[in-house]
């Protein structure tokens, strides 16, 4: 039986919280000097009152992330729409929320509005209220544009937005570890909507070189060092950035499985060896400069891979308004292979330390 603190049954399945003492707020964290326009909040304040005091929780499922489902909710006072993610309270969930909170001041990262600690089915849960991103996923937006061609300049502008999110994360020593199109959503359907990075279920703080050990990944975007037993660092995000850039410029991934598997032995080998091509006709109009940028992102040796600072300083990114508006094959290819992309989006997340696997489904 679900109940709030007065023993009454609430209209939605989020009863009032248990009354443990308020934990101390974490120490202030300050971003590095290259981001003076951002201000990391002084501490994550977790609210202990019932979320239904402040929000109307609906049964509308917006999506399923790595560590929990996302529901549509409304602020009772303002009627503004938000997204709610529910996680079972544990150290891993607290780490996800804290890292996301620290990062959410970046304009290209989904913003956390409130965090609650409530009871659900007798267990403590963390309820994360986030801004609602109504514009859809990155690739879906390109697929649905009709006859209007997707251009190289648009690809450059998109990569700049994603790069700004990664640059901010890396500046505060956070590796996202799951950078992929399904985690890149637009704020609205409008042409000037902002692209934002979501889902911090795999995110981890990395304060030193090669400090990450757990192989967490989505197969099509995984860096070669994550597949092996060796330690790795936040440069794994740069590899994922290279894969996304490759797809944006042609419509298909550089590494894929031909056997209906999430990741095949042959695909693993090609990733580890860095074996991919730039076949025509999709790449015939793309400049050698852009291909070299991708090559520098898809270096199999992490120490040779382009850093986020180098990426953001590249002319193709820094001067995106000067990039030619060359029509690309991307929209057509993504549309023709839509069913296959749905399979790719359903690829298994892998976490060696977990006894279960989660299929990511965007609804």
Q: How many domains does the chain have?
A: 2
Catalytic residue among 89, 178, 233, 237: 178
Same domain, 107 and 81: yes
359 part of a folded domain: no
Whether 201 and 257 map to the same domain: the answer is yes
Contacts 24+ apart (CB under 8 A), 220-228: 220/180, 220/253, 220/255, 220/256, 220/344, 220/347, 221/178, 221/179, 221/180, 222/263, 222/271, 223/271, 223/302, 224/271, 224/272, 224/274, 224/300, 225/302, 226/177, 227/268, 227/271, 227/272, 228/272
Residue 325 is part of which domain span? 138-351
Say which residue, 314 or 4, is predicted with more confidence.
314
5 falls within a domain: no
Domain boundary among 104, 131, 158: 131
Q: Would 332 be classed as within a structural domain?
A: yes
In a shared domain, residues 174 and 115: no
pLDDT of residue 322: 93
Please give the share of the chain, as a percent, with pLDDT higher than 90: 58
Same domain, 108 and 228: no
Q: Is residue 274 part of a domain?
A: yes
**What's the whole-number mean pLDDT along residues 311-334?**
94
Residue 251 lies in a domain: yes
Same domain membership, residue 303 and residue 206: yes
Confidence class of residue 67 from pLDDT cuts 50, 70 and 90? low
Q: Residues 295, 168: one domain?
A: yes
Q: Which of 111, 131, 151 is the last residue of a domain?
A: 131
User: At 79, which CATH number?
Assistant: 3.30.200.20
pLDDT at 269: 85
The lowest-confidence range among 177-191, 271-285, 332-346 is 332-346
Same domain, 182 and 242: yes
> Which of 98, 131, 164 marks a domain boundary?
131
| Residue 178 appears among annotated catalytic residues | yes
Evaluate whether residue 220 is within a structural domain: yes
Which residues, other chains included, contact 190 with Cβ-Cβ below 8 Å and sequence gap of 6+? Answer: 135
Does some domain include residue 11? no
Provide the whole-model pTM.
0.80
Give residue 359's pLDDT: 24
The closest alpha carbon to 296, from 254, 239, 341, belongs to: 239
Confidence band, pLDDT 50/70/90 cuts, at residue 217 = low
Instruction: Give yes or no: residues 240 and 150 share one domain.
Output: yes
234 is in an annotated binding site: no
> What CATH number has the domain bearing residue 150?
1.10.510.10
Same domain, 125 and 214: no
CA distance 30 to 159: 26
- Asked whether residue 31 is domain-assigned, the answer is no
Q: For residues 342-362, give the mean pLDDT.
A: 40
């Amino acid at each position: 039986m679900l109940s709030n603190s007065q023993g009454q049954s609430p209209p939605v399945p989020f009863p009032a919280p248990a009354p443990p003492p308020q934990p101390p707020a974490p120490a202030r964290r300050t971003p590095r000097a290259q981001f003076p326009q951002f201000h990391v909040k002084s501490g994550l304040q977790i609210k202990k009152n019932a979320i239904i005091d402040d929000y109307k929780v609906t049964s509308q499922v917006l999506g399923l992330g790595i560590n929990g489902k996302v529901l549509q909710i409304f602020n009772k006072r303002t009627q503004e729409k938000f997204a709610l993610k529910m996680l079972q309270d544990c150290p891993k969930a607290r780490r996800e929320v804290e890292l996301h909170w620290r990062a959410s001041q970046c304009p290209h990262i989904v913003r956390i509005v409130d965090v609650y600690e409530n009871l659900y089915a007798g267990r403590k849960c963390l309820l994360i209220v986030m801004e609602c991103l109504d514009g859809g996923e990155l690739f879906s937006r390109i697929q649905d544009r009709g006859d209007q061609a997707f251009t190289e300049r648009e690809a450059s502008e998109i990569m700049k937005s994603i790069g700004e999110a990664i640059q901010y994360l890396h500046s505060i020593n956070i590796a996202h570890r799951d950078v992929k199109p399904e985690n890149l959503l637009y704020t609205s359907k409008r042409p000037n909507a902002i692209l934002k990075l979501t889902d911090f279920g795999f995110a981890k703080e990395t304060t030193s070189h090669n400090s990450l050990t757990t192989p967490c990944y989505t197969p099509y975007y995984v860096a070669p060092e994550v597949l092996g037993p060796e330690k790795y660092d936040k440069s794994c995000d740069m590899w994922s950035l290279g894969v996304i850039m490759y797809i944006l410029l042609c419509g298909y991934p550089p590494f894929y499985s031909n056997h209906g598997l999430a990741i095949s032995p042959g695909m693993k080998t090609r990733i580890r060896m860095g074996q991919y091509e730039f076949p025509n006709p999709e790449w015939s109009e793309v400049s050698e400069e852009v291909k070299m940028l991708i090559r520098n992102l898809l270096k199999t040796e992490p120490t040779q891979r382009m850093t986020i600072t180098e990426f953001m300083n590249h002319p193709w990114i820094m001067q995106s308004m000067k990039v030619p508006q060359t029509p690309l094959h991307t929209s057509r290819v993504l549309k023709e292979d839509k069913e296959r992309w749905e399979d790719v989006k359903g690829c298994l997340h892998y976490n060696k330390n977990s006894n279960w696997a989660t299929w990511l489904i965007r609804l």
